[in-house]
Chain A
Amino acid sequence: MSEKKIRVLIAKPGLDGHDRGAKIIARALRDAGMEVIYTGLRQTPEMIASAAVQEDVDVIGLSILSGAHGTLAPRLMELLKQKGMNDVTVLLGGTIPEADIPALKKAGIAEIFLPGTSTQDIVNFVREHARRVE
């Protein structure tokens, strides 16, 4: 039985336009053999949740450098739950103060990747934690 490619949605929630990191990770995951869909900028949590369902992704990577993660990430987790996407792995990267991490994990974010993380570490994490339906 051949293994299906891991499907990843890389998303930029909220008004933040800083896309350097999101684009690099999208490319790195693609180079690592995954199917990557990049949403582009200024996506509401509703748009991201819809895209995740539509694209039937295994992993969602959120990139937020605006400080709005406290509102946007939990909102997305809530919407995913409502849509029954309970086993998608959600990752977050960006400008995230340490103090905010526990609440985000409690909301269901699987891991937060700080500035300085290597793309290889992210590739490895995704490989290990993505749900796989064969």
Chain B
Amino acid sequence: MSSDREQHIRRTESDKLPAHTPEFTTISNHPIRRLYTPVDLREWDADRDLGLPGEPPYTRGIHPAMYRDRLWTMRQFAGFGSAEDTNKRFRYLLSQGQTGISVAFDLPTLMGYDSDDALAEGEVGKCGVAISSLADMEILFDRISLDAISTSMTINSPAAILWAMYLAVAEKQGANWKRLGGTLQNDILKEYIAQKEYIYPPKPSMRLVIDTLEFAARETPKYNPISISGYHIREAGSTAIQELAFTLRDGIEYVEWGLRRGLAVDEFAPRLSFFFNAHNDFFEEIAKYRAARRLWSRTMTERFGAKSARSASLRFHAQTAGCSLTAQQPYNNVIRTALQALAAVMGGTQSLHTNSLDEAWALPTEFAATLALRTQQILAHETGVTNTADPLGGSYFVEALTNEVEQGAREYIRKIDEMGGMIAAIERGYPQREIADASYRYQMAVDRKEKIVVGVNAFTDEEKSLETLQVGESVRAQQVSRLRKLRKERSNAEVARLLASLRKAAAGNENLMPHIYDAVKAYATLGELCAALREVFGSHEEAAVT
């Protein structure tokens, strides 16, 4: 480009801003220029930085034909009440065309408590399904063939145990473990950073995660034993760049631990999967996904010497941003979700959950959950965005923003490397504080109306009532009596023996999955297993950062 031409372009960029015009920034406060031109891509090289879909650095997607070959999995996160209630919702969603299952567990289950624990009071079945034993899991997947439908489970600290229950159900169904597809969230690092559903301290928790990665590499080659997540980091209030950086740096930490276990990188890295938020700022999200693929590809090859293409291709699930849903004018949320889902699809996601309109109030009604699924189906079949891979590739804006997001993420990753890694960074409260600061800054911007939220700080109206899902207290009562029955009918001697054996193994270096699996099959409960591990591993308490 001639320097005259460049000067002309630069002149048109300089805004003569009247005093009252605000800065133009993304929801993450990232500045956006009035116009993007070839000048913004001077350092960019299409062969090196863009490439082709299905080839390193995977900026344009991980498959050559993307959605022409296969649509993303429509995988709606669902769960409430009892295993029967949730089984019914699963079968309903499958009948309405969802193509993958995603299990939401209640808080007692997430925290490793049986439904009859004192700490479970008031919480059973309220934000997900109550699962205390293999018996509950069998009901959860009644009339669902696990070898025919991929199943994701959002569970972290007790992930190994719930996974063992899932594998036991699969075995009972006669399914071949080698063919099972699905994902276990099992990302403990982001618990310390954002979601806060930790039980044990970091080191034994990491050991448990690596046990599952090792077990999966050998026993369940099609199953993703981890979903390294940025969703929750973003929900806690981080910026898009922080979401990307902390997620990938968590990924790096898991790879390092896997290598220290003695696994070869290409043995387990292909089954590391990821989970990102699909937030409001349309182009920032698309840039984030593209930057994620490129940065992970470069990291896996340059930092870890991965040879397999599957180690370097970042596969991800996306969920539309829960934190963007408003209690006010809830039908606006249908629009938000649709636009966020569009960003995820234009960013090349492999799997997608779309939120329901009523989720700022309660868990979704059947009506709201169906509308959310229809959103994906309309995207897939009516908009035409699936006809070509990476439709925005080559846009000056999108490529420039992709570069900036990658750069920003690299900066954070470098800082965390200098601190000694992610666990070290967590111990000093670094990611937690970054997130707390970003979330406070955003709230102040909303309070000052520098950031507009339609229906909340602008375009408000009188609110109408909305009927929402109610989960009663009877679920707990039902679980209490079920657990009583379970403890009477199983061999308590066998359970005690297996728990003792687990405790012994936990104190040593063995892979715990086989022990957990045996105990789960003998109907040891989740609470009993987690308590046994807590005896050996201890508990974790955070030093709160406000």
Known contacts: A71-B122, A72-B122. The answer to whether A15 contacts B108 by CB under 8 A is: yes
Which of B21-29, B400-408, B435-443 binds A?
B435-443
Tell which of B197, B235, B362, B544 touches A95, judged by Cβ atoms closer than 8 Å: B362
Q: Is A98 an interface residue (CB 8 A)?
A: yes
Interface mask (A1-45 → B, CB under 8 Å = 1, otherwise 0): 000000000000011111110011011101000001010110010
* Shortest distance between the CB of B80 and any CB in chain A (Å): 9
One of A15, A40, A96, A119 near B123 (C-beta < 8 A)? A15
| B362 and A24 contacting across the interface, CB-CB below 8 Å | no
Contact for B360 among A16, A95, A118, CB less than 8 A:
A95
- Indicate whether A19 sits within 8 Å of B123 (C-beta atoms), given known contacts A95-B362, A98-B361, A99-B468: no
Q: How far is the CB of A121 from chain B (nearest CB, A)?
A: 9
Docked CA distance A24–B236 (Å): 11
Task: Give the Cβ gap from A70 to chain B, nearest Cβ, in Å.
Answer: 7
Q: Mark B177-199, 1 if CB is under 8 A from A, else 0.
A: 00000000000000000011100
Across the interface, do A66 and B361 meet the contact criterion of CB distance under 8 Å? no
**Residue of B with least CB distance to A116:** B456
Q: Are A118 and B457 in contact (CB-based, < 8 A)?
A: yes
B127: A residues at CB distance < 8 A: 66-67
Q: Which of A14, A17, A24 has the largest number of chain B CB atoms within 10 A?
A: A17
The residues of B that contact A27 with a CB separation of less than 8 Å are 436, 440, 546
- Pick the contact of A20: B120, B235, B465 (CB < 8 A): B235
Residues of A within 8 A of B325 (CB): 115
Chain B 506-524 residues near chain A, CB threshold 8 A: none
Are the C-beta atoms of B123 and A24 separated by less than 8 Å? no
* Chain B stretch 58-116: residues in CB contact (< 8 A) with chain A: 107-108, 110-111, 113
Which A residues touch B264, using CB under 8 A? none
Query: What are the residues of chain A within 8 A of B440 when measuring CB–CB?
Result: 23-24, 27-28
Contact check, B544 vs A40: say whether CB atoms are below 8 A apart: yes
Q: Distance in Å from the Cβ of A120 to the closest Cβ of chain B? A: 6
Question: What is the CA–CA distance of A26 and B110 in the complex, to the nearest angstrom?
Answer: 26
| List of B residues within 8 angstroms of A116 by Cβ | 326-328, 360, 453, 456-457
Bound CA span A120–B363, Å = 28
- 8 Å CB interface, B440-488 against A: 440, 443-444, 446-447, 453, 456-457, 465-466, 468, 470-471, 473
* Contacting pair B126 A114 (CB below 8 A): no
User: Given A97-B361, A97-B362, A15–B546 Cβ distance below 8 Å?
Assistant: no
Distance of A21 Cα from B134 Cα, bound (Å): 36
A67 touches B362 (CB 8 A): yes
Against B, the Cβ 8 Å flags (1 = close, 0 = not) of A113-132 are 01110111000000000000
Interface residues of A in 81-132 (CB under 8 A from B): 95-99, 114-116, 118-120
In the assembled complex, the Cα of A30 lies from the Cα of B546 at a distance in Å of: 10
Q: A17-B195, A20-B439, A23-B439 given as contacts; is B447 within 8 A of A119 (CB)?
A: yes
On chain A, the residues within 8 Å of B111 by CB distance are 15
Inter-chain contacts of B237 with A (CB < 8 A): 20, 24
Q: Nearest chain-A residue to B545 (Cβ)?
A: A23
With the chains together, A72 CA to B473 CA distance in Å?
13
A36 to B186, CA, bound (A): 34
Taking the closest CB of chain B, its distance from the CB of A113, in whole angstroms, is: 10
Pick from B113, B126, B439: contact of A66, CB below 8 A: B126
Is the CB–CB distance between A41 and B546 below 8 Å?
A: no
B542 within 8 A of A: yes
**CA–CA, A18 to B107, complex, Å?**
11
Chain A residues with Cβ under 8 A from B235's Cβ? 20
Whether A53 is near chain B, meaning CB under 8 Å from some CB there, is no
> Which residues from chain A contact B126 at a C-beta distance below 8 Å?
66-68
B149 on the A face (CB < 8 A) = no
Please, which residues of chain A bring their CB within 8 A of the CB of B466? 98
| Interface residues, chain A, with chain B CB atoms under 8 Å away | 14-20, 23-24, 26-28, 30, 36, 38, 40-41, 44, 66-68, 70-72, 75, 95-99, 114-116, 118-120
* Closest 4 pairs (CB-CB, A-B): A71-B122, A17-B196, A67-B126, A15-B107
